[in-house]
Homo-oligomer: A and B are copies of this chain.
Amino acid sequence: MNGAESLVRTLLASGVDTCFANPGTSEMHFVAALDKVEGMRCVLGMAETVVTGAADGYGRMAGKPAATLLHCGPGFANGIANVHNARRAFSPMVNIVGDHATYHRAYDAPLTSDTEGLARAASHWVRASTTSAAVGADSAAAVQAANTAPGQIATLILPADTAWNEGGVVAAPMPAPARPKVAPDTLRTIAQALRRKEPAVLVLSGHALCEAGLVAANRVAHVTGAKLRTPTQVGRMARGRGRVPVDRIPYMVDAAIKTLAGTKHVVLVGAKPPTGFFAYPGKPSLMAPPDSDTHVLARPEQDAVDALNALADELGAPAKVAIPEGAIKPQLVQGKFEPEAFASTLAALLPENCIVAEDGVTSGRALFAPTFNAAPMDWLQNTGGAIGHAFPCATGAAIACPDRKVVCLQADGAGMYSLQSLWTQAREKLDIVNVVFANQIYKILMGELVSVGAKPGHASNELFDLARPALDWVKLAGGMGMEATRVDTLEGFADVFKSACGRKGPFLIEFRI
Protein backbone atom coordinates (compact mmCIF):
# COMPACT_ATOMS: atom_id res chain seq x y z
CA MET A 1 0.00 0.00 0.00
CA ASN A 2 1.40 3.42 -0.86
CA GLY A 3 1.25 6.42 1.44
CA ALA A 4 -1.68 7.96 -0.40
CA GLU A 5 -3.85 4.89 0.14
CA SER A 6 -2.90 4.80 3.83
CA LEU A 7 -4.07 8.42 4.06
CA VAL A 8 -7.47 7.75 2.55
CA ARG A 9 -8.04 4.60 4.60
CA THR A 10 -6.94 6.30 7.82
CA LEU A 11 -9.19 9.30 7.21
CA LEU A 12 -12.16 7.01 6.62
CA ALA A 13 -11.35 4.95 9.71
CA SER A 14 -11.15 8.20 11.68
CA GLY A 15 -14.62 9.27 10.57
CA VAL A 16 -13.65 11.70 7.83
CA ASP A 17 -15.73 10.76 4.80
CA THR A 18 -16.06 14.04 2.90
CA CYS A 19 -13.29 15.71 0.94
CA PHE A 20 -13.58 19.16 -0.58
CA ALA A 21 -10.87 19.35 -3.17
CA ASN A 22 -8.96 21.34 -5.69
CA PRO A 23 -5.96 19.14 -6.35
CA GLY A 24 -2.92 19.70 -8.54
CA THR A 25 -0.22 17.50 -9.98
CA SER A 26 1.53 16.88 -6.66
CA GLU A 27 -1.75 15.40 -5.36
CA MET A 28 -2.26 12.91 -8.20
CA HIS A 29 -1.48 9.85 -6.10
CA PHE A 30 -4.08 10.95 -3.57
CA VAL A 31 -6.64 11.26 -6.33
CA ALA A 32 -5.62 7.81 -7.57
CA ALA A 33 -6.09 6.47 -4.02
CA LEU A 34 -9.53 8.09 -3.83
CA ASP A 35 -10.37 6.30 -7.07
CA LYS A 36 -9.26 2.99 -5.55
CA VAL A 37 -10.82 3.22 -2.08
CA GLU A 38 -14.60 3.49 -1.76
CA GLY A 39 -16.36 5.68 0.75
CA MET A 40 -14.98 9.20 0.46
CA ARG A 41 -17.32 11.78 -1.02
CA CYS A 42 -15.28 14.12 -3.20
CA VAL A 43 -16.59 17.61 -3.91
CA LEU A 44 -14.74 19.87 -6.33
CA GLY A 45 -14.42 23.62 -5.82
CA MET A 46 -13.12 25.67 -8.76
CA ALA A 47 -11.08 27.91 -6.47
CA GLU A 48 -9.56 27.01 -3.13
CA THR A 49 -11.58 29.60 -1.23
CA VAL A 50 -14.65 27.55 -2.15
CA VAL A 51 -12.96 24.40 -0.87
CA THR A 52 -11.98 25.76 2.54
CA GLY A 53 -15.17 27.78 3.01
CA ALA A 54 -17.24 24.69 2.27
CA ALA A 55 -15.17 22.64 4.71
CA ASP A 56 -15.91 25.35 7.30
CA GLY A 57 -19.67 25.18 6.70
CA TYR A 58 -19.50 21.38 6.76
CA GLY A 59 -17.53 21.35 10.01
CA ARG A 60 -19.97 23.72 11.71
CA MET A 61 -22.99 21.60 10.78
CA ALA A 62 -21.56 18.08 10.85
CA GLY A 63 -19.70 18.60 14.11
CA LYS A 64 -16.77 16.74 12.63
CA PRO A 65 -14.12 17.68 10.12
CA ALA A 66 -14.15 17.33 6.38
CA ALA A 67 -10.84 16.94 4.65
CA THR A 68 -9.66 19.42 2.09
CA LEU A 69 -7.26 18.40 -0.66
CA LEU A 70 -5.18 21.34 -1.81
CA HIS A 71 -2.18 22.03 -4.01
CA CYS A 72 1.12 23.18 -2.59
CA GLY A 73 1.98 26.79 -1.81
CA PRO A 74 -0.28 29.05 -3.85
CA GLY A 75 -3.07 26.45 -3.76
CA PHE A 76 -3.19 26.47 0.01
CA ALA A 77 -2.69 30.26 0.04
CA ASN A 78 -5.84 30.71 -2.06
CA GLY A 79 -7.75 28.91 0.69
CA ILE A 80 -6.31 30.75 3.70
CA ALA A 81 -9.03 33.40 3.96
CA ASN A 82 -11.74 30.85 4.66
CA VAL A 83 -9.38 28.79 6.82
CA HIS A 84 -9.11 31.97 8.86
CA ASN A 85 -12.90 32.27 9.08
CA ALA A 86 -13.11 28.62 10.11
CA ARG A 87 -10.49 29.13 12.80
CA ARG A 88 -12.55 31.97 14.25
CA ALA A 89 -15.65 29.77 14.24
CA PHE A 90 -13.88 26.86 15.96
CA SER A 91 -14.64 24.66 12.97
CA PRO A 92 -12.80 21.35 12.82
CA MET A 93 -10.92 21.01 9.51
CA VAL A 94 -8.24 18.68 8.15
CA ASN A 95 -6.27 20.24 5.30
CA ILE A 96 -4.26 17.83 3.20
CA VAL A 97 -1.75 19.85 1.22
CA GLY A 98 0.40 18.11 -1.35
CA ASP A 99 3.89 19.36 -1.91
CA HIS A 100 6.91 18.66 -4.06
CA ALA A 101 8.68 15.36 -3.46
CA THR A 102 11.17 15.73 -0.62
CA TYR A 103 14.19 15.45 -2.93
CA HIS A 104 12.70 17.82 -5.54
CA ARG A 105 12.49 20.84 -3.23
CA ALA A 106 16.21 21.51 -3.53
CA TYR A 107 15.79 22.44 -7.20
CA ASP A 108 13.37 25.26 -6.54
CA ALA A 109 10.93 24.28 -9.31
CA PRO A 110 8.41 27.00 -10.25
CA LEU A 111 5.74 26.07 -7.69
CA THR A 112 8.20 25.64 -4.83
CA SER A 113 7.12 27.90 -2.00
CA ASP A 114 7.01 28.08 1.76
CA THR A 115 4.00 25.81 2.16
CA GLU A 116 4.83 25.11 5.78
CA GLY A 117 5.23 28.82 6.58
CA LEU A 118 1.84 29.54 5.02
CA ALA A 119 0.27 26.63 6.88
CA ARG A 120 1.68 27.77 10.22
CA ALA A 121 0.31 31.28 9.71
CA ALA A 122 -3.22 29.87 9.40
CA SER A 123 -3.48 26.61 11.35
CA HIS A 124 -3.53 25.39 14.94
CA TRP A 125 -1.66 22.20 14.05
CA VAL A 126 0.83 21.63 11.22
CA ARG A 127 2.83 18.57 10.35
CA ALA A 128 4.77 17.56 7.22
CA SER A 129 5.15 13.83 6.69
CA THR A 130 8.60 12.75 5.62
CA THR A 131 8.03 9.10 4.68
CA SER A 132 5.13 7.04 3.35
CA ALA A 133 5.26 4.96 6.53
CA ALA A 134 4.41 8.04 8.61
CA VAL A 135 1.44 9.22 6.55
CA GLY A 136 -1.16 7.02 8.27
CA ALA A 137 -0.18 7.98 11.80
CA ASP A 138 0.19 11.64 10.82
CA SER A 139 -3.30 11.60 9.29
CA ALA A 140 -4.84 10.11 12.42
CA ALA A 141 -3.09 12.76 14.49
CA ALA A 142 -4.41 15.46 12.16
CA VAL A 143 -7.99 14.29 12.65
CA GLN A 144 -7.46 14.15 16.40
CA ALA A 145 -6.11 17.70 16.36
CA ALA A 146 -9.07 18.91 14.29
CA ASN A 147 -11.53 17.24 16.67
CA THR A 148 -9.90 18.62 19.79
CA ALA A 149 -12.23 21.17 21.41
CA PRO A 150 -13.21 23.77 20.53
CA GLY A 151 -12.42 22.55 16.99
CA GLN A 152 -9.12 23.22 15.29
CA ILE A 153 -7.47 23.70 11.91
CA ALA A 154 -5.08 20.82 11.27
CA THR A 155 -2.87 21.02 8.19
CA LEU A 156 -0.93 18.00 7.03
CA ILE A 157 1.65 18.59 4.31
CA LEU A 158 2.41 15.53 2.23
CA PRO A 159 5.38 15.60 -0.15
CA ALA A 160 4.54 13.70 -3.33
CA ASP A 161 6.98 10.87 -2.62
CA THR A 162 5.32 10.15 0.73
CA ALA A 163 2.21 9.52 -1.36
CA TRP A 164 3.63 7.36 -4.08
CA ASN A 165 6.15 5.31 -2.10
CA GLU A 166 5.08 1.91 -0.82
CA GLY A 167 5.12 1.20 2.90
CA GLY A 168 1.94 3.01 3.88
CA VAL A 169 0.37 1.89 7.16
CA VAL A 170 -3.28 2.54 8.03
CA ALA A 171 -3.42 4.04 11.52
CA ALA A 172 -6.09 3.45 14.13
CA PRO A 173 -8.32 6.44 14.93
CA MET A 174 -7.03 8.66 17.72
CA PRO A 175 -9.98 9.96 19.73
CA ALA A 176 -9.93 13.59 20.78
CA PRO A 177 -10.03 14.38 24.49
CA ALA A 178 -13.42 15.35 25.96
CA ARG A 179 -14.08 19.03 26.64
CA PRO A 180 -12.54 19.84 30.03
CA LYS A 181 -15.00 20.74 32.79
CA VAL A 182 -14.86 24.05 34.58
CA ALA A 183 -13.36 23.95 38.09
CA PRO A 184 -15.86 24.26 41.00
CA ASP A 185 -13.87 27.19 42.40
CA THR A 186 -14.44 29.17 39.22
CA LEU A 187 -18.17 28.48 39.41
CA ARG A 188 -18.35 29.57 43.04
CA THR A 189 -16.39 32.77 42.43
CA ILE A 190 -18.59 33.78 39.52
CA ALA A 191 -21.77 32.82 41.37
CA GLN A 192 -20.66 35.00 44.24
CA ALA A 193 -20.12 37.95 41.91
CA LEU A 194 -23.49 37.49 40.21
CA ARG A 195 -25.34 37.17 43.53
CA ARG A 196 -24.57 40.81 44.19
CA LYS A 197 -27.12 41.61 41.47
CA GLU A 198 -24.84 44.26 40.03
CA PRO A 199 -25.31 44.80 36.28
CA ALA A 200 -23.87 41.75 34.56
CA VAL A 201 -23.62 40.47 30.99
CA LEU A 202 -22.90 36.89 29.96
CA VAL A 203 -21.15 36.85 26.58
CA LEU A 204 -21.89 33.51 24.93
CA SER A 205 -19.89 32.12 22.03
CA GLY A 206 -19.00 28.87 20.28
CA HIS A 207 -20.45 25.79 21.88
CA ALA A 208 -22.50 27.92 24.35
CA LEU A 209 -24.79 28.98 21.48
CA CYS A 210 -26.30 25.55 20.96
CA GLU A 211 -29.88 25.18 22.16
CA ALA A 212 -28.86 23.52 25.44
CA GLY A 213 -26.30 26.23 26.12
CA LEU A 214 -28.83 28.97 25.56
CA VAL A 215 -31.35 27.23 27.83
CA ALA A 216 -28.73 26.95 30.57
CA ALA A 217 -27.69 30.58 30.14
CA ASN A 218 -31.34 31.58 30.39
CA ARG A 219 -31.51 29.87 33.79
CA VAL A 220 -28.58 31.99 34.97
CA ALA A 221 -30.17 35.14 33.56
CA HIS A 222 -33.50 34.31 35.20
CA VAL A 223 -32.06 34.03 38.68
CA THR A 224 -29.48 36.84 38.51
CA GLY A 225 -30.92 39.40 36.11
CA ALA A 226 -27.75 39.15 34.04
CA LYS A 227 -28.16 40.07 30.41
CA LEU A 228 -27.17 37.66 27.65
CA ARG A 229 -25.24 38.64 24.52
CA THR A 230 -23.41 36.99 21.70
CA PRO A 231 -20.31 38.47 20.07
CA THR A 232 -20.87 40.48 16.89
CA GLN A 233 -20.54 37.28 14.81
CA VAL A 234 -21.66 33.79 15.73
CA GLY A 235 -20.16 30.64 14.25
CA ARG A 236 -23.38 28.69 14.71
CA MET A 237 -26.37 29.61 16.81
CA ALA A 238 -29.68 27.89 17.44
CA ARG A 239 -32.29 30.55 16.73
CA GLY A 240 -35.97 31.09 15.97
CA ARG A 241 -39.17 30.42 17.89
CA GLY A 242 -38.66 28.48 21.11
CA ARG A 243 -34.99 29.37 21.32
CA VAL A 244 -33.66 31.90 23.80
CA PRO A 245 -33.45 35.21 21.90
CA VAL A 246 -29.94 36.41 22.64
CA ASP A 247 -28.99 39.48 20.65
CA ARG A 248 -25.48 40.26 19.51
CA ILE A 249 -23.09 43.02 20.49
CA PRO A 250 -23.36 45.59 17.69
CA TYR A 251 -20.62 45.97 15.08
CA MET A 252 -20.37 49.73 15.40
CA VAL A 253 -18.07 50.71 18.27
CA ASP A 254 -20.29 53.43 19.73
CA ALA A 255 -23.30 51.13 19.72
CA ALA A 256 -21.31 48.30 21.27
CA ILE A 257 -20.05 50.55 24.06
CA LYS A 258 -23.60 51.75 24.67
CA THR A 259 -24.86 48.17 24.82
CA LEU A 260 -22.36 47.30 27.54
CA ALA A 261 -22.48 50.66 29.35
CA GLY A 262 -23.01 50.34 33.09
CA THR A 263 -22.01 46.69 33.15
CA LYS A 264 -20.13 45.72 36.29
CA HIS A 265 -19.48 42.04 35.50
CA VAL A 266 -18.66 40.63 32.07
CA VAL A 267 -18.83 36.84 32.19
CA LEU A 268 -17.16 35.16 29.23
CA VAL A 269 -18.67 31.84 28.19
CA GLY A 270 -16.49 30.48 25.39
CA ALA A 271 -16.01 34.09 24.33
CA LYS A 272 -13.21 36.62 24.36
CA PRO A 273 -13.52 40.08 25.93
CA PRO A 274 -15.71 42.08 23.52
CA THR A 275 -13.39 43.95 21.16
CA GLY A 276 -13.92 46.39 18.33
CA PHE A 277 -13.76 44.72 14.94
CA PHE A 278 -11.29 47.46 14.01
CA ALA A 279 -9.57 50.23 15.93
CA TYR A 280 -10.59 53.84 15.34
CA PRO A 281 -8.71 56.98 16.37
CA GLY A 282 -9.75 58.05 19.84
CA LYS A 283 -12.00 55.07 20.46
CA PRO A 284 -11.22 52.20 22.82
CA SER A 285 -10.34 48.68 21.69
CA LEU A 286 -12.38 47.04 24.45
CA MET A 287 -16.13 47.51 24.48
CA ALA A 288 -16.88 46.87 28.15
CA PRO A 289 -16.59 49.74 30.65
CA PRO A 290 -13.00 50.10 31.91
CA ASP A 291 -14.17 49.66 35.52
CA SER A 292 -16.03 46.40 34.86
CA ASP A 293 -14.73 43.05 36.08
CA THR A 294 -14.15 40.29 33.55
CA HIS A 295 -14.79 36.68 34.61
CA VAL A 296 -13.99 33.65 32.51
CA LEU A 297 -16.66 31.04 33.13
CA ALA A 298 -15.52 28.78 30.30
CA ARG A 299 -12.69 29.02 27.86
CA PRO A 300 -13.63 28.09 24.27
CA GLU A 301 -12.38 24.51 24.67
CA GLN A 302 -14.18 23.91 27.96
CA ASP A 303 -17.64 22.42 28.42
CA ALA A 304 -19.64 25.64 28.42
CA VAL A 305 -23.06 23.95 28.57
CA ASP A 306 -22.09 22.00 31.65
CA ALA A 307 -20.54 25.12 33.17
CA LEU A 308 -23.69 27.19 32.57
CA ASN A 309 -25.91 24.53 34.11
CA ALA A 310 -23.55 24.10 37.05
CA LEU A 311 -23.53 27.86 37.57
CA ALA A 312 -27.33 27.96 37.39
CA ASP A 313 -27.51 25.15 39.96
CA GLU A 314 -25.00 26.90 42.20
CA LEU A 315 -27.19 30.00 41.99
CA GLY A 316 -30.30 27.98 42.87
CA ALA A 317 -32.01 28.57 39.51
CA PRO A 318 -35.05 26.44 38.76
CA ALA A 319 -34.37 23.53 36.42
CA LYS A 320 -36.90 24.85 33.92
CA VAL A 321 -37.30 28.50 33.11
CA ALA A 322 -39.69 30.00 30.54
CA ILE A 323 -38.02 30.94 27.28
CA PRO A 324 -38.64 34.63 26.56
CA GLU A 325 -40.09 35.59 23.21
CA GLY A 326 -38.34 37.91 20.78
CA ALA A 327 -39.94 41.34 20.64
CA ILE A 328 -40.43 41.61 16.89
CA LYS A 329 -43.18 39.70 15.09
CA PRO A 330 -42.23 38.60 11.58
CA GLN A 331 -44.40 40.05 8.87
CA LEU A 332 -44.34 40.47 5.13
CA VAL A 333 -43.49 44.06 4.28
CA GLN A 334 -43.82 45.67 0.87
CA GLY A 335 -41.74 48.21 -0.98
CA LYS A 336 -38.08 48.78 -1.62
CA PHE A 337 -35.30 47.01 0.26
CA GLU A 338 -34.73 48.37 3.71
CA PRO A 339 -32.72 46.26 6.19
CA GLU A 340 -35.33 45.93 8.98
CA ALA A 341 -38.17 45.45 6.51
CA PHE A 342 -36.21 42.76 4.70
CA ALA A 343 -35.38 41.07 7.98
CA SER A 344 -39.02 41.00 8.99
CA THR A 345 -40.06 39.61 5.61
CA LEU A 346 -37.34 36.99 5.67
CA ALA A 347 -38.31 36.00 9.22
CA ALA A 348 -41.86 35.38 8.03
CA LEU A 349 -40.66 33.12 5.22
CA LEU A 350 -37.67 31.13 6.54
CA PRO A 351 -38.48 27.43 6.31
CA GLU A 352 -38.64 25.29 9.46
CA ASN A 353 -35.29 23.80 10.46
CA CYS A 354 -33.38 25.60 7.74
CA ILE A 355 -29.75 26.67 7.95
CA VAL A 356 -28.97 30.33 7.32
CA ALA A 357 -25.46 31.20 6.14
CA GLU A 358 -25.07 34.94 6.35
CA ASP A 359 -22.40 37.32 5.11
CA GLY A 360 -24.65 40.27 4.44
CA VAL A 361 -22.15 42.93 5.56
CA THR A 362 -24.05 46.27 5.68
CA SER A 363 -27.29 44.78 4.35
CA GLY A 364 -27.10 42.01 6.94
CA ARG A 365 -26.54 44.04 10.09
CA ALA A 366 -30.22 44.39 10.91
CA LEU A 367 -31.07 40.72 10.46
CA PHE A 368 -30.47 39.39 13.95
CA ALA A 369 -33.18 40.75 16.24
CA PRO A 370 -36.08 40.59 13.74
CA THR A 371 -35.50 36.88 13.14
CA PHE A 372 -35.88 35.65 16.75
CA ASN A 373 -39.45 34.70 15.95
CA ALA A 374 -38.74 33.01 12.66
CA ALA A 375 -39.09 29.25 12.39
CA PRO A 376 -36.45 27.36 14.40
CA MET A 377 -33.19 27.20 12.48
CA ASP A 378 -29.40 27.41 12.74
CA TRP A 379 -27.63 30.65 11.86
CA LEU A 380 -24.02 30.70 10.64
CA GLN A 381 -22.06 33.91 10.32
CA ASN A 382 -18.73 35.09 9.05
CA THR A 383 -16.70 34.96 12.23
CA GLY A 384 -13.33 35.96 10.82
CA GLY A 385 -14.15 38.96 8.69
CA ALA A 386 -12.72 37.54 5.46
CA ILE A 387 -15.65 38.39 3.24
CA GLY A 388 -17.36 36.22 0.64
CA HIS A 389 -17.97 33.54 3.21
CA ALA A 390 -21.67 32.75 2.86
CA PHE A 391 -21.56 31.22 -0.65
CA PRO A 392 -19.01 28.51 0.24
CA CYS A 393 -20.20 28.11 3.84
CA ALA A 394 -23.72 27.38 2.57
CA THR A 395 -22.24 24.92 0.09
CA GLY A 396 -20.56 22.91 2.82
CA ALA A 397 -23.54 23.12 5.18
CA ALA A 398 -25.77 21.69 2.44
CA ILE A 399 -23.36 18.79 1.93
CA ALA A 400 -23.41 18.11 5.69
CA CYS A 401 -27.21 18.36 6.00
CA PRO A 402 -28.79 17.19 2.76
CA ASP A 403 -32.26 17.12 4.32
CA ARG A 404 -32.30 20.73 5.41
CA LYS A 405 -32.94 23.81 3.27
CA VAL A 406 -30.00 26.21 3.30
CA VAL A 407 -30.61 29.94 2.90
CA CYS A 408 -27.51 31.86 1.88
CA LEU A 409 -27.51 35.62 2.43
CA GLN A 410 -24.56 37.16 0.61
CA ALA A 411 -23.55 40.78 0.00
CA ASP A 412 -22.61 41.42 -3.63
CA GLY A 413 -19.15 42.93 -3.25
CA ALA A 414 -18.24 40.20 -0.80
CA GLY A 415 -19.82 37.51 -2.95
CA MET A 416 -17.45 38.29 -5.80
CA TYR A 417 -14.61 36.78 -3.74
CA SER A 418 -16.17 33.35 -3.95
CA LEU A 419 -18.77 33.33 -6.74
CA GLN A 420 -17.22 30.08 -8.01
CA SER A 421 -19.16 28.41 -5.18
CA LEU A 422 -22.30 28.64 -7.31
CA TRP A 423 -20.84 26.14 -9.75
CA THR A 424 -20.25 23.59 -6.99
CA GLN A 425 -23.80 24.16 -5.72
CA ALA A 426 -25.16 23.56 -9.22
CA ARG A 427 -22.95 20.53 -9.82
CA GLU A 428 -23.95 18.88 -6.54
CA LYS A 429 -27.60 20.00 -6.92
CA LEU A 430 -27.50 21.35 -3.38
CA ASP A 431 -30.70 22.58 -1.75
CA ILE A 432 -29.65 26.21 -1.35
CA VAL A 433 -31.49 29.46 -1.98
CA ASN A 434 -28.90 32.18 -2.46
CA VAL A 435 -29.94 35.78 -1.87
CA VAL A 436 -27.50 38.38 -3.15
CA PHE A 437 -27.83 41.88 -1.72
CA ALA A 438 -26.89 43.87 -4.81
CA ASN A 439 -26.26 47.38 -3.57
CA GLN A 440 -23.44 47.76 -6.10
CA ILE A 441 -21.08 49.46 -3.72
CA TYR A 442 -18.59 48.53 -1.01
CA LYS A 443 -21.02 50.33 1.25
CA ILE A 444 -19.28 49.31 4.46
CA LEU A 445 -16.08 50.97 3.24
CA MET A 446 -17.84 54.19 2.26
CA GLY A 447 -19.26 54.23 5.78
CA GLU A 448 -15.85 53.56 7.31
CA LEU A 449 -14.28 56.32 5.21
CA VAL A 450 -16.84 58.83 6.41
CA SER A 451 -16.39 57.61 9.98
CA VAL A 452 -12.66 58.46 9.86
CA GLY A 453 -13.69 62.01 9.03
CA ALA A 454 -12.79 61.98 5.33
CA LYS A 455 -14.88 63.16 2.40
CA PRO A 456 -15.21 60.70 -0.50
CA GLY A 457 -13.12 61.80 -3.50
CA HIS A 458 -11.84 60.46 -6.81
CA ALA A 459 -9.94 57.50 -5.36
CA SER A 460 -12.62 56.28 -2.98
CA ASN A 461 -15.13 56.61 -5.78
CA GLU A 462 -12.92 54.39 -7.95
CA LEU A 463 -12.38 51.89 -5.17
CA PHE A 464 -15.85 51.54 -3.61
CA ASP A 465 -18.29 51.96 -6.49
CA LEU A 466 -19.26 48.62 -8.02
CA ALA A 467 -21.88 49.92 -10.42
CA ARG A 468 -19.57 50.61 -13.39
CA PRO A 469 -20.29 48.17 -14.91
CA ALA A 470 -23.16 46.70 -12.92
CA LEU A 471 -22.74 43.06 -11.95
CA ASP A 472 -25.53 40.91 -13.38
CA TRP A 473 -25.92 38.07 -10.91
CA VAL A 474 -28.57 36.36 -13.02
CA LYS A 475 -26.02 35.98 -15.80
CA LEU A 476 -23.20 35.07 -13.40
CA ALA A 477 -25.33 32.31 -11.87
CA GLY A 478 -26.49 31.19 -15.30
CA GLY A 479 -22.89 31.02 -16.46
CA MET A 480 -22.32 28.45 -13.74
CA GLY A 481 -25.45 26.45 -14.45
CA MET A 482 -27.73 27.86 -11.76
CA GLU A 483 -31.23 29.25 -12.21
CA ALA A 484 -31.60 32.79 -10.99
CA THR A 485 -33.93 35.73 -11.02
CA ARG A 486 -33.81 39.40 -10.09
CA VAL A 487 -36.17 41.26 -7.77
CA ASP A 488 -36.24 44.85 -6.65
CA THR A 489 -39.10 44.93 -4.15
CA LEU A 490 -39.82 43.08 -0.95
CA GLU A 491 -43.06 41.65 -2.36
CA GLY A 492 -41.17 40.46 -5.42
CA PHE A 493 -38.61 38.87 -3.16
CA ALA A 494 -41.29 37.18 -1.05
CA ASP A 495 -42.89 35.59 -4.12
CA VAL A 496 -39.67 34.28 -5.57
CA PHE A 497 -38.22 33.18 -2.21
CA LYS A 498 -41.38 31.23 -1.33
CA SER A 499 -41.33 29.44 -4.64
CA ALA A 500 -37.58 28.72 -4.41
CA CYS A 501 -38.07 27.28 -0.92
CA GLY A 502 -40.93 25.17 -2.16
CA ARG A 503 -38.72 23.15 -4.48
CA LYS A 504 -35.43 21.32 -4.09
CA GLY A 505 -32.14 22.43 -5.57
CA PRO A 506 -30.01 25.53 -5.93
CA PHE A 507 -31.41 28.92 -6.88
CA LEU A 508 -30.20 32.50 -6.76
CA ILE A 509 -32.16 35.68 -6.13
CA GLU A 510 -30.47 38.96 -6.95
CA PHE A 511 -32.07 41.66 -4.82
CA ARG A 512 -31.24 45.02 -6.44
CA ILE A 513 -31.26 47.48 -3.60
Residues of A within 8 A of B (CB): 21, 23-26, 28-29, 31-32, 34-36, 40, 42-44, 46-47, 49, 73-75, 77-78, 80-81, 84-85, 88, 100-101, 103-104, 106-111, 113-114, 117-118, 120-122, 160-161, 164, 232-233, 272-273, 275-279, 281, 285-286, 383-386, 413, 416-417, 419-420, 423, 426-427, 444-445, 448-449, 452, 454-460, 462-463, 466, 468-476, 478-482
Contacts and interface: CB of A to CB of B under 8 A. Distances in A.
A44 B462 contact: yes
A411 to B, nearest CB: 12
Given A160-B278, A279-B103, A469-B481, A460 B386 contact: no
A452 B279 contact: no
Contacts of A476: 475-476, 479-480
Contacts of A480: 469, 471-472, 476
A197 to B, nearest CB: 29
Contact of A109 (B23, B275, B452): B275
A335 B195 CA distance: 84
Among A42, A74, A113, A472, max chain B CB count under 10 A is at A74
A32 B413 contact: no
Contacts of A445: 23-25, 28, 31
Contacts of A25: 277-278, 444-445, 448
A25 B35 CA distance: 45
Nearest to A88: B110
A76 to B, nearest CB: 9
20 contacts: A28-B445, A28-B454, A31-B460, A32-B449, A35-B456, A46-B416, A77-B81, A77-B118, A78-B81, A103-B279, A104-B276, A104-B279, A107-B272, A109-B279, A113-B122, A114-B121, A118-B118, A469-B481, A471-B481, A472-B479
A455 B24 contact: no
Contact of A479 (B110, B427, B473): B473
Contacts of A444: 25
Contacts of A385: 74, 110-111
Contacts of A74: 80-81, 84-85, 384-386
Contacts of A84: 73-74, 77, 111, 113
Given A110-B385, A423-B469, A164 B281 contact: yes
A109 B277 contact: yes
Nearest to A101: B279
Contacts of A117: 117, 120-121
7 nearest A-B residue pairs (beta carbon):
A469-B481, A35-B457, A34-B459, A74-B386, A475-B479, A32-B454, A476-B479
Contacts of A463: 21, 23, 31, 34, 42, 44
B80 A118 contact: yes
Given A49-B78, A279-B160, A420-B416, A233 B110 contact: yes
Given A28-B454, A49-B78, A121-B113, A459 B42 contact: yes
A458 B35 contact: yes
Contacts of A120: 114, 117
Given A80-B118, A423-B471, 14 more contacts: A29-B454, A34-B457, A36-B457, A42-B458, A42-B463, A46-B413, A47-B417, A77-B81, A101-B285, A106-B285, A109-B285, A114-B121, A161-B281, A472-B478
Contact of A278 (B109, B468, B475): B109
A462 B43 contact: yes
Contacts of A46: 413, 416-417, 466
A478 B470 CA distance: 10
Among A77, A100, A108, A273, max chain B CB count under 10 A is at A77
Nearest to A81: B74
Nearest to A36: B457
Contacts of A40: 459
A100 to B, nearest CB: 6
A457 B37 CA distance: 10
Nearest to A450: B28
A452 B28 contact: yes
Contacts of A469: 423, 426-427, 480-482
A459 B233 CA distance: 36
Contacts of A26: 278
Nearest to A69: B463
A77 B83 CA distance: 11
Nearest to A87: B113
A110 B279 contact: no
